[in-house]
Amino acid sequence: MGSEPDWSKQISNSNICNWFFAFAIVNAVLAVVGILGMVAYAFGVKNPSTITLLITLFPTVISTVHFFFWYLLCSRALDV
């Protein structure tokens, strides 16, 4: 593997971590919308399917934690 290209040296570490943070916030907002949708589904249907709620909840939680993990990793690794 070669050295870092010149064009990428101009990008500051804080900019990279800010992008991860922005993606984490957007994902968190989408997760809240998804959870509100699940609550609306649970109260709007006579017999809500627990499987449907879990299938929706699991990837929502995992993806939100995943994005915040990447931000934390970036912040600690680059010491921003």
- pLDDT per residue as tens digits for the range 5-40: 888 788 888 888 888 888 888 888 888 888 888 888
> Could you give the CA distance from residue 13 to residue 60 in angstroms, rounded to a whole number?
28
Residue 64 contacts residue 31 (beta carbons within 8 Å): yes
- Tell me which residue of 12, 27, 21 sits closest to 62, measured CA to CA: 27
pTM equals: 0.70
Q: Return d(Cα 36, Cα 34) in angstroms, integer.
A: 5
